Amino acid sequence: MFRSALVTLLLAAAPALAANPTITVTGGKHDEADVVCKVKYSLPPDNTSVRLADGTELPAQMVGRAVLDPAGADQYLTFVLPKLAAERAVTLTVHGGPGLSDKGDAKRFHFQNESGKYTDLLFGSRKVLRSINAPHDATDATTHYMTFKPFHQVFDPATGETLLSSGVHPNTKEFLYPHHRGLFYGFNKVSYGNKQTADVWHGTDKVFSQYDKTLATEAGPVLGRERGAISWHGKDGKTFASEERELTAYNVPGGTLIDFASVLTTELPKVRLDGDPQHSGFHFRAPQEVAAKSAKQTYYLRPDGKGKPGETRNWDAKGKDPKTVNLPWNAMSFVVAGKRYTVLRVDHPDNPKESRGSERDYGRFGDYFEYDLTPEKPLKVKYRVWVQEGEMTKDQCEALARGFTEPPAVAAK
């Protein structure tokens, strides 16, 4: 059985574009499906396709260099291979000119901007992602709390009508831990300079991070991507770190596949990034509805199997449970609006270690690590997130994780 997976395939150098050049992708030890291939090429930006040996034509998209791509190439041809059998080779031909990539907005990603509030990524008319990018408002404590950090929300992959992640809520008793918001990245124990500290996670003592500007966007039939500049500010309002953050969503059947990538830099001699598993690192938070109505139906699927409803594991400095350390992947299954959804979160081996995990039945999970940020040592991280209706199996999770961490071989002529 073919398993859903997404694989980034990079060539060492961009080949010269011959008439109908070929690309060969060779599978690894496991069958895969929805394999996203990324190859260095120079083609016109629109109306490109690739064809299988049986004549099946697949949409392709020329995209610019992503934030974590190596230097030396400005354009990549990207396409989704429907299936890839274990240890089998598939050869495709590349075609310029009119193809499936120009079939109209119904089969393409595009952005809609609500100025000063958020930017939505849609596929056709279906909402996929929402980036909350309202500027920080320091008018008073309430406006500060509502705007002290940018984050990202995920819509249900079937209709795009139901938000599956938590948004902005006031810090009142009606809402449980509203400092956890959507897909979010940060640290609650930051230190630098002359005993200066900052809590980017909670935004205490006027600390905030802010979306400053959009650096690049890509939108087409294969993927939608946005990269933005985010500044991290201390209690004095001054910037102590700068981030380039990039989210990519891919056009694959059965769910929403998201890549999160970030590069954090500083001009200070050293910025210590630390925290705890609940309030640092990269996390996903489900809507407040889960905390209020369905927390006891939440369960986690881990590399060692399916947990019981309501059961959670959390790293603790005293116990240091090895099952909470360096998890390659973790999946949370929860109920929103009467439907069950599952979110898979995949760590990458290149991210700093050790990673220390956190799970909560109200719908938040993730992990964190410690890091010393310096001008010579920027912090680079990448994660993959898969969102779908219904439940997942361990085999599905492992196949998706391998697609992120163990790409197959690729060659081009």
Contact partners, residue 402, CB within 8 Å, separation at least 6: 5, 28, 30, 32
Q: What pLDDT sits at residue 262?
A: 99
Domain boundaries, the chain: 22-102+407-412, 105-393
Quote the pLDDT of residue 30: 78
What pLDDT score does 98 carry? Answer: 55
Residue 6 is predicted with a pLDDT of 45
Tell me the CA end-to-end span of the chain in Å, nearest whole number.
Answer: 30
Identical topology for domains 22-102+407-412 and 105-393: no
C-alpha dihedral, 198 to 202 to 205 to 211, nearest 10°: 80
CB 170 within 8 A of CB 401: no
- The predicted pLDDT at position 128 comes to 99
What are the residue ranges in the chain where pLDDT is below 50?
A: 1-17
Supply the pTM of this predicted model.
0.92
CB 408 within 8 A of CB 12: no
Q: Answer for the pair 99, 59: CB distance below 8 angstroms, yes or no.
A: yes
* pLDDT tens digit sequence for 402-411: 888 887 777 7
Q: What is the pLDDT of residues 61-103, one digit of tens each?
A: 999 999 999 887 788 888 888 778 888 999 999 887 655 555 5
pLDDT value for 272:
99
According to CATH, the topology of domain 22-102+407-412 is Immunoglobulin-like (2.60.40)
Domain 105-393 coded CATH 2.70.98: yes
Q: Which residues on neighbouring strands pair with residue 51, listed in sequence order?
A: 57, 93
Contact (Cβ atoms closer than 8 angstroms) between residue 307 and residue 301: yes
Q: How far is CA 333 from CA 310, 388, 403, in A?
A: 11, 10, 21
